[in-house]
Structure 1
């Protein structure tokens, strides 16, 4: 009984996971499970017996995850890639570059399905017609997407394609199974068709569960490759499971990053309290600074580390008041530099101190020693973050938390700032206009505030 076997397998998985103290798991089901009439019963039984929840994913999601794995192993920089994944139930054809999936087609012509057709009476004719139909549809879609543009690299994934790579190495005396040329594919197909199932297992050393499905896989791959006009297929030995794993890892890292961020922010707030900061103003300034940072990401091109530096600098920018109201920005600089924060390196502390120091008065200058001591890329980061912090600080000029949110739109050559909050926010709008110089210089664009003649 299939369900019993599946449940048994997942129960064994669960034991292995416990043996190795694995805390994060992800199970996905593709075509076969997607289309199974007893799908819900399988999912329920597996979950009940093992506690593992299987997510059913569609062809589009499958394509995205395969692309994720492919770009981690094959250099797709500035290239148009055709990814072909041949499974038992479906074939995914994906057109992508190094960052995006441009289009994806999922066809119900997996090897197991095609094999059934081939075994039927007069199946060969129906099989060829079906494959031709699907491949022609793929070709039309590709032409629609990229016109006459050449495909730079073709990547093949899935067990059957990997077996073709192994056969290529074995039969043509090659030293690698990680690619197969269009010409070699033609030769392999001829050889496979002329070999009985038994001989494929004994002479070609194919696994019994692979020896039958490899023929339809080779036919489909050869047809797609022919139509797409590519010379060879790269076989990196990755697939859907690698994409799932990479995604799980990145989510786990994001969670870790978030835990780290919380630690740092908590530590910054403790420092602020030590110097009697205005916590409400500091929190408002930090919130607005991050809103501006996130909405101008394509201009400043800074990463999540810079975002954290900005958040901490915004929380602590006024602590210098503890020493003296006059020149408090300079006192802020020294206090931050001399008080380590949990979770930040010395370099990050120096960045925070500099960003906070330039939240008012002078813009960053090479004559200022601490600024000059930083590497050029860090000086640029300080200028960008200080420019953002000045605007956020101006938006809470009266320390009244009047502005709830700021929306930033870029219409060349100007940034339009739209404020959401209580009342007419006239003071905040004028404060923003008065503090816009550094931002305009750094980003080489004008700052305009909506509903303000400026």
Structure 2
């Protein structure tokens, strides 16, 4: 006899806001199945406000309210039972983040939790990541966002080091990442990977998912450092408009994809990784799993 639940995760990032609706299918004496049924992405780009002016503009505040109202209706249409909304780098650094959270709650009924980098990394770790790992191998997990990037060194199936750095695609576009921070990241990666003979990268985030799709590779196959370097060089030969028309990128992806690729390539260079695997998992997947296993709080849909 199967039992069904329907949960939703809202990921409020520095570049975009996402709603993931998932079916949870419980089977007797078998592992629970988590199946994505809907994914909606709205490119509000809160980071463009916050990383420059330290505040969310009235325009984007209204867009947040409108988006959450739309997500509420979509969740009702899907008959979602429980949800969790998490806001990351941009919201936690804005001077009026609490004001925006209150406005969203008042006008849409959606409760937003503003989480720090460590909690974000812990939620991501709750995904199906382990099912992609070979226990004997060592991996550097890199989750690139608009405001920050989360790094974890995984050895023997266990996380041995992790850290969040304020190096993200939107910050890089606005030239807001000092050389000293890049150097700090380089030292951290080298220090935490140098004892291992071989390291593979695991890439997470919308940009690497799109890059993988453009590569035409089959799921489970890695992208090589050589291929990604060539792709990075080719990207820069296209104008912004050409990346939209010829590479079929969305407007809000066509600019951030270049700094995102730089972060992945730098991580591969400093860890000595020759391959990057792209399992297409992220914060939203982790939120759903964490809700199911009661490791985070969640809200019943009104």
- Tell me whether the two structures share a fold, i.e. TM-score over 0.5: yes
Whole-angstrom distance in 1 between the partners of 2:190 and 2:167: 21
For structure 1, which runs of at least 5 residues remain unmatched after alignment? Answer: 118-125, 253-454
State how far apart, in whole Å, the 2-side matches of 1:135 and 1:233 are. 20
Sort the Cα spacing of 1:237 and 1:182 in 2 relative to 1 into closer, same or farther, 3 A.
same
Q: Does 1:150 align with 2:197?
A: yes
1:160 aligns with 2:218: no
Q: Name 2:187's counterpart in structure 1.
A: 140
Deviation string for 1:122-157 (max 9, x for gaps)? xxxx97x63xx4444234224444542134431100
Q: Report what 2:46 is aligned to.
A: none
2:153–2:193 CA contact under 8 A, matched in 1: no
Q: Does 1:69 align with 2:127?
A: yes
The root-mean-square deviation of aligned C-alpha atoms, in Å, is 2.2
Q: Rate the CA distance shift 1:247–1:141 in 2: closer, same or farther, 3 A.
A: same
Cα distance in structure 1, aligned partners of 2:181 and 2:229: 19
Structure-1 separation of matches of 2:159 and 2:98: 30
Instruction: Give the number of equivalent residue pairs.
Output: 237
**Counterparts in 2 of 1:99 and 1:251: CA distance versus 1, 3 Å:** farther
Distance in structure 2 (CA, Å) of the matches to 1:56 and 1:80? 31
Deviation at 1:83, TM superposition (A): 0.6
Is structure 2 residue 146 aligned with structure 1 residue 96? Answer: no
1:36 and 2:79 matched: no
Alignment match, 1:221:
264
Please give the alpha-carbon distance, in whole angstroms, between the structure 2 residues aligned to 1:52 and 1:178.
39
Residue aligning to 1:316: none
Answer 1 or 2: which has greater strand percent: 2
| Gapped regions of structure 2 (runs ≥ 5) | 1-58, 296-302
When Rg is computed on C-alpha atoms for both structures, the one with the higher figure is 1
TM-score by length of 2: 0.72
Alignment of 1:170-189 (within 5 A): 174-175=217-218, 179-189=222-232
- 1:343-385 per-position Cα deviation (integer Å, ceiling 9, x unaligned): xxxxxxxxxxxxxxxxxxxxxxxxxxxxxxxxxxxxxxxxxxx
Does the CA-based 8 Å contact 1:157-1:239 persist in structure 2? yes
TM-score with structure 1 setting the length: 0.49
Q: Given that residues 87 and 110 in structure 1 are in contact (C-alpha distance below 8 angstroms), is that contact kept between their aligned partners in structure 2?
A: yes
Cα gap change, 1:51 to 1:216, in 2 (>3 Å): same
Instruction: Indicate if the aligned counterparts of 1:165 and 1:178 stay in contact, CA closer than 8 A.
Output: no
Shift, 1:159, TM fit: 0.8
Does the Cα contact within 8 Å between 1:90 and 1:110 map onto a contact in 2? yes
| Deviation digits for residues 76-112 of structure 1 (CA, Å, limit 9, x no counterpart) | 4243221101111111111124654322221212111
1:81 equivalenced with 2:136 (yes/no): no
Q: Deviating runs (4+, > 6 A) in structure 1?
A: none
Native 8 Å contact 1:67 1:83 kept in 2 = no
